[in-house]
Structure 1
Amino acid sequence: MKKRKIITSVINNFDSDQRVQKVCGSLMKFGFEVEVVATNLRGEPKLNFPYPVHYLNLSAQSGMKMYLDFNRKLFFKLNSIAKKDDILLANDLDALLPNYLISKIKGCELVFDSHEIFSEVPTLYNRPFRKKIWKTLEKSIVPNLKHFYTVSNGYADWFEKAYQNRPEVVMNVPLIQKNADTKLSIDLPEISTEKILIYQGVINFSRGIGKMIEAMQFLENVQLWIVGNGPKKVEFETLTEDLKLENKVKFLGNVSPNQLKCITPKADLGLSLEEDYGISYRYALPNKIFDYTHAGIPILGTYLPEIKATIENYRLGKTIENHEPKHIAERIKMMLEEGKSPYTENLKRAAEVFNWSHEEKKLEGIYSVFNEQK
C-alpha cells in the first residue's frame, strides 16, 4: 500500500530547526513519506536530508515584507506539490494561512504545530497593528483545527482558554544519541583558566542576551559563548564592543545540531534568561533547557513559570529573581563556585524523563488517525 505523504512547512532555515527535523524523522518511522518546504532565512540551507526539502528564497530577511513574501511563495509551492491524499503540517502561525487555504482547495488534512503563541511574541510588543493582523488570523483558524499540538502545558492552557481548543503537548526535547558523532569540526575561542557560560538559540529581543552581556562586566575569568544567529546579533555585538567585553563575550554564529551537541558539554553553565515581554515568553519552555540538561551542565534560568518550575522541580540549577546585571552576575558566581557536581545526578535523571522517545509516542498517537484512514 502506498504511503501517505506529509508536507511540512516552516519559515526557518531547515538546517538549524531541530524540532521540525525530529518530527520529520519520527513521521518517517511511523510509515509516512515526508516532504519539507523551508526558506533561506539567515543563510543557505545545506539540504542533506533523507527526504525532499524545497527552500524558498525570501526577498527580505525580517519584518512584514518577509512574512508576506513567505506566505505568497508557500501558497504557490504547496499548490504545485500537494495532492488530495497528502497531509499538510504547518509549523507556527506564520505558515498556517497558506496551509489552511490549500487544505480547503485540495481537500487535504491539516495539522498545526504551534512552537509558540505567535500573536503574543515580544517582537509584536508596542506594535498594535501588526499584532492585530496575527491575532485576527489566529482567531479565524485556530478554533476550528482538528489536529493541533504545542510545546508546553502553559501554551496549551492559554489556547484552551482563548479558543476553547486545547492542543496536545509534544515538548521540544532532544533525542538520546548514544553513538553520536562527537568530532568537533569548528574552531572554538581560546580558553585558559576561564569558566564558560553558554547561550544557544536565536539572537533576538527579550531573551535576556543584553543582560547577560552586561553582567559580564562584573565577572572575572569567565567567557560567555553566544551560539546562534538572529536579527539582534549586530546590536549585541555592538553592545559588547561598547562595553569593551570582546575578550569575555564570543559570538560563535550558527552551528549544526550535531556540532552543538559537541560544544554545549564544554560549558560550565547554561543560560536561559528570557524576559516577560508577553504571553508567548511567559509560558515558554525553550528547547535549550533540555539541551543543557542532556549536555550535563547546570542551568541558570529566568523566573518565568514554565522554566522556573522545570529547573526547581528537577533541581537542575537556579533561577534569577530579576534581570539586573549585577544580580545575574551574583547568581553566576554562586553557581560557578558550586561547580557541576551538585547537579550531575539530577541532570542525568531529568535527561531520561525529557527525551524525544517519550514525546514521539505522543506524536504517534496524534498521527495514528491518518494511518487508520488508509
Structure 2
Amino acid sequence: MKNRPQMNKALHLTHTDIEFDSRILKEMGALVAAGFSVSGIGVVLDEGAQKTEVSFKADIKSLDLRSRKLTFLPRTLRHITTLLELAGKMLPRAIRERPDVIHCHDTLVLPLGCIVKWLTGAKLVYDAHELESNRNGLTRLQGVLTLRVERLLWRFVDALIVVSPSIERWYQENVGAKLSTVILNSPLFHEGLHQSEDYLRRKFSIPAESKVFIYVGILGRGRGIDLLTEAFKNLQVSSHVVFLGYGELSEELKQLAAQHPNIHVHDAVPHSQVVPIVQSADFGLCLVQNVSLSDYYCLPNKLFEYCFAGVPVLASDFPDIRAVLSEYGIGESCKLQADEIRGAILRLERSQSTFQFANLAPLSWQAQEQKLVDLYQECVPRATH
C-alpha cells in the first residue's frame, strides 16, 4: 500500500474572536483549500460585530476569559490577569495540537507561539495586522514594550506577514530582515451577491438626484468620523452619508441622524454582505486620521471593499493609499481637514466624470491567498510519511 502525503497542520492563535475575524477566517480557508489541516484558538468577544459564515472545515476553539468581566479591578491589573488567564488556557491546548506551523496574529500571542515552537519544533509565522508597536490606542509605554517583545522574539520568527508595503519595509529596517509577504485586506467577494442598485436610497428615503457616500468600519474615535459629520452638516453639501458598522460612536451618530436628514446609520452586517450593500452607494469614504504610524502606513479593508464594489473612493492622502489610488484609478485623496473634506465632497458630487478602474486582479483575495500559500510552502515543505 502506497504511503499517503501527510497534511501539514497549521494552528492559528489570536486574542480576537476568530468567528468574527474575517481576515483570519479568509487565511484559514485559503490554507484548507491548499491542503493544510487547519485549527484556531481565539477568545469569546461580544463587540457588536456580525459572525462570518465558515464554508471550510477547521477546528475553531473560542476561550471564555472570565477575567475580562472583573471590571472592579484597576485596568492595568485586569489586563495582566486577562493575559495570565489567556496563557493558562491557550498554551496547553496549542501544545496538544502538535502543529507544523504556528500562526500568531499580533504581538499579544507571539510569546505563546514561541513557547509552542520550542516544545513542538513548529515553524512560526508572525502575522502583524498593523504596525504593532505604533498603533492607535497604545500608550507610549505599551508601544515601547511591544517593540521590545518583537525584537526579543524576532530570531524565533520564521516568516512575517504584514498588511502594507510600508509596514513591511518598517519591520525589515527597524526589527530585522525576515522572509515576508504583504497580504492585503481584500474582501472575499462572491459575484452572485448583489443588493438592489437603489438599496440605500430606498432604505433611507434618499432622493434619486442626491449622491450617496458610505463609510464602512468601526464607528470609533481616531477614524475621521467627526470630520465627516461636520462636512455633511454643512448646508452647501447636498449629498447623503451612510455609516455602516458598530462601535462607541453608534449612538452619537444615531442622534445626529435624527437631527440631520442627510446623515444615516446602518446596523452592522455579516462581512459577506458589505460589498453588495456598498454597490448601491456612489462613493466610499476611507478617511483615516494620522494618529499613529500604523494608520499613516495603512491599507484598510474598506478601501478594497469599495473598489471591488465598483465604487470610487475618497481617501486619506497617505503614501500606501495614494499609491493604490494612483495605480488602479479607483478614486482620489485629500488632507484630513474639515474644509479639505468638504471641498472634495462638493467636487465629487458636482462632477460628471467617471473613474476608469484598472484591472483589480492583483488586489483580489485570490491573489492574496496565493501569496499566503507560497509563503507557507517556502516556510514548511510538504511532509510525507
Q: TM-score w.r.t. structure 1 length?
A: 0.86
C-alpha deviation, 1:110, in angstroms = 1.6
C-alpha deviation, 1:120, in angstroms = 0.3
Closer, same or farther: CA 259–176 of 1 in aligned 2, 3 Å: closer
Closer, same or farther: CA 44–170 of 1 in aligned 2, 3 Å: closer
1:199–1:271 CA contact under 8 A, matched in 2: yes
Cα separation, 2, equivalents of 1:75 and 1:366: 30
SS of aligned partner of 2:177: coil
Q: Which residue of 2 aligns with 1:223?
A: 240
Cα separation, 2, equivalents of 1:359 and 1:271: 23
Q: Which of 35, 42, 49 does residue 39 from structure 2 map onto?
A: 35
Moved more, 113-122 or 199-208: 199-208
2:254–2:264 CA contact under 8 A, matched in 1: no
What is the aligned-residue identity percentage? 22
C-alpha deviation, 1:319, in angstroms = 0.8
Is 1:328 matched up with 2:341? yes
2:220–2:249 CA contact under 8 A, matched in 1: yes
SS of aligned partner of 1:191: coil
Q: Which residue of 2 aligns with 1:140?
A: 152
Q: Is there any run of 5+ residues in structure 2 with no aligned partner, and where?
A: none
C-alpha deviation, 1:130, in angstroms = 2.2
Cα separation, 2, equivalents of 1:96 and 1:277: 25
Q: TM-score w.r.t. structure 2 length?
A: 0.84
Cα separation, 2, equivalents of 1:32 and 1:40: 25
Alignment of 1:1-374 (within 5 A): 1-41=5-45, 42-43=47-48, 46=51, 48-49=53-54, 50=56, 51-59=58-66, 60=68, 65=78, 69=82, 72-73=85-86, 76-81=89-94, 82-124=96-138, 127-166=139-178, 167-178=180-191, 180-182=192-194, 188-193=203-208, 194-218=210-234, 220-230=237-247, 232-234=248-250, 237-238=251-252, 241=255, 245-321=259-335, 323-338=336-351, 342-343=354-355, 345-346=356-357, 349-369=358-378, 370-374=380-384
Cα separation, 1, equivalents of 2:126 and 2:177: 12
SS of aligned partner of 1:36: strand
Relative contact order: is structure 1 or structure 2 higher (C-alpha 8 Å, sep ≥ 6)?
A: 2
Cα separation, 1, equivalents of 2:6 and 2:121: 19
C-alpha deviation, 1:212, in angstroms = 1.0
Closer, same or farther: CA 39–297 of 1 in aligned 2, 3 Å: same
Highest Rg: 1 or 2? 2
Moved more, 220-229 or 154-163: 220-229
C-alpha deviation, 1:240, in angstroms = 6.4
Closer, same or farther: CA 3–246 of 1 in aligned 2, 3 Å: farther
